[in-house]
Structure 1
Amino acid sequence: MFLLYVIIPIGQSIWISFYDWDGLGAAKWIGLRNYIDLLDDDSFYTSLKNNVWWLVLYLLAIPAGLAIALFLNQTVTGIRLYKSLFFFPFVISQVVVGLIFSWFYAPDFGLLPRILGFFTGSETAILADERYATFGIIAAGLWPQIAYCMILYLTGLNNINPEQVEAARMDNAKGFAMLWHIVIPQLRPATFIALVVTVIGALRSFDLVSIMTAGGPYGSTRVLSYFMYEQSLSEYGTAMGYGAAIAVVLFAIMLVFISLFITRMLMQERNG
């Protein structure tokens, strides 16, 4: 199954990237031409820059998820209700998240423009402004991603060794010292999984871009996955070879991060 649905399609994508092909007719071998064209394509650099923004800002989900998990890992009145509210974004689809935030940003009836208008005197159409649109979409993506990291950390907090915590308390460790030296080291497995999933989610972001802006305005919110779709699979694009070249570049970037994560994990296991 892994060979059929993962390895072989990866090999086919790499092979197609060396052809000029519209997906229907005969494919023409052009070698590295698609990759050379990528280097001269401003849309490719815009997509790559946006992917970097996604990667950098998406990492905020990890400390935010940890903070919420620490808050929810308490025995207080109504804690189950709070957990349900924070868990809610994780169980709804990305399409629903995109629609919710599109309404939230809508200049006619959205809540955010009304708030901005109240304090600044002018409403801003977030998704129609190329300066802010990408960051608006990333904010929408952070909502469910923080919930996912929160779940991972809640699971990790339930598995913390209570003996270490008690020993630290006997040594007068509390507050930030307790968190930094006792709690966070025991949350390394959860942090590792959260980091891997967050990085991969940032690099393959597609759903929210498609739902909220379709790459606009003026192509300013494109990411590599959506740029690939535009070039090869959308109603305007039939350049399967060029789209495959974009997919190969995205795969290479993800492969670098995944290789680093796996190498680090193997080193930790050997040291352990």
Structure 2
Amino acid sequence: MSSSTEAATKASWYKRNEIAATPWLFLIPGVAMFLLYVIFPIFQSINVSFYDWDGLGEAQWVGMGNYEELYWDDAFYVSLRNNLIWLVLYLLAIPAGLFIALFLNQTVTGIRLYKSLFFFPFVISQVVVGLVFTWFYDPTFGLLNQFLAVFGIDPINVLGDERFVTYGIIAAGIWPQTAYCMILYLTGLNAVDPEQIEAARLDGAKGWKMLWHIIVPQLKPATFIAFVVTIIGALRSFDLISIMTNGGPFGESRVLSFYMFEVALSEYGFRMGYGASIAVVLFLIMLCFITYFLWSMYKDEKGGR
């Protein structure tokens, strides 16, 4: 077969499958990047977690040794506990974002100003958020203690007290996360069917009934994204802790991602294998939550057909 005949055959195959093949041509670069920078590092991290390795020298196989050490590591359990606290409290950003979005979806005087104020936390850097809240909590000149002094309450060193430090950092994180959820719900509210709302009003639905039975079910896609992003944000929280406390006091504000950084790249002697084992545990926790939400969404869509 001549080269011209082969070219004609290839061209005719593409023409016959153009509609099915063209989308894949656009997807190939993205899929390749995803495989190279996401999937491959996941398997590489799992492999590294079975070695004792400092990142430079020769890696020594230790099998499940790193995971056995994790089992007896008190710092790991402190980090895990803090991650669970982050996860539970961070989810408050979702209903908060929904109610702010419902307010901003109304036609009221000065609504553009309100939208700008609520949108502002989303566009600023997490580093800036951390610094602002560090000053806010400062026991000597912070606004929090200035406010408490009005009521005769003694100053509280939020970031220096192991009882309050995790909750103080979470409060700083919820601020921009609420803004993100608000944006998701504002977008979702634009897709709410006005005919369903009008029909519900004719049936006498209003207030909480209207919200729970008519509006919220139509916001399921936005809610799903909000849950996934918020859970991932809670589990991989790092930057605020690094800026506000650097894991202190006495390691009480650590989470798994920060502890992983400490043991792999900081004061614990570049223990890449041990850090990778922490990363694997964190990945499995994330995977469980995301798989659950994907399965729930799949069942809802399948049941709605």
Length-normalised TM-score, structure 1: 0.98
Between stretches 223-232 and 167-176, larger displacement belongs to: 167-176
Aligned residues: CA RMSD: 1.0
For 1:7 and 1:108, the matched residues in 2 are separated by 48
Match of 2:277 among 223, 245, 262: 245
Cα 1:14–1:230 change in 2 (3 A) is: same
> Which residues of 2 match residues 187-206 of structure 1 at below 5 A?
187-206=219-238
State the shift of 1:236 in Å. Answer: 4.4
1:219 counterpart SS class:
coil
Q: Taking every aligned residue pair, what percent have the same amino acid on both sides?
A: 71
Q: What are structure 2's unaligned runs of at least 5 residues? A: 1-32
Query: For residues 269 and 225 of structure 2, what CA distance do their matches in structure 1 show?
Result: 36
Matched residues in 1 for 2:61 and 2:148: separation? 54
Alignment-derived partner of residue 103 in structure 1: 135
Deviations, residues 152-211 of structure 1 (Å, cap 9, x unaligned): 111111111111111111111111111111111111111111111111110110010111
The amino acid of 1:86's aligned partner reads F
Indicate the residue corresponding to 2:125 in structure 1.
93
Match runs of 1:42-191 below 5 Å: 42-191=74-223
CA separation in 1, counterparts of 2:197 and 2:70?
54
Match of 2:300 in 1: 268
Question: Aligned partners of 1:268 and 1:179: how far apart in 2?
Answer: 19
SS of structure 2 residue aligned to 1:104: helix
Counterpart residue number, 1:257:
289
Q: Aligned letter for 2:190?
A: N
Aligned length: 272
For residue 8 of structure 1, report the CA deviation from its aligned partner. Answer: 1.2
Q: CA deviation at 1:121?
A: 3.0
CA distance, structure 1, for counterparts of residue 235 and residue 243 of structure 2: 17
What CA deviation, in whole Å up to 9, does each residue of 1:114-149 have, x standing for no partner?
112332431001000000000000000000000011
- SS of 1:26's partner is coil
Q: Which secondary structure does the structure 2 equivalent of 1:22 belong to?
A: coil
Correspondent of 2:254 among 202, 205, 222 = 222
Q: Aligned pair 1:234/2:266, yes or no?
A: yes
SS at match of 2:107: coil
Deviation at 1:6, TM superposition (A): 1.1
Report SS of the residue matched to 1:172.
Answer: coil
**Corresponding residue for 1:14?**
46
* Residue number among 55, 64, 68 corresponding to 1:23 in the alignment: 55
Farther-moved stretch of structure 1 (14-23 vs 80-89): 14-23
Three-state SS of the structure 1 residue aligned to 2:63 is coil
Structure 2 residue identity aligned to 1:257:
F
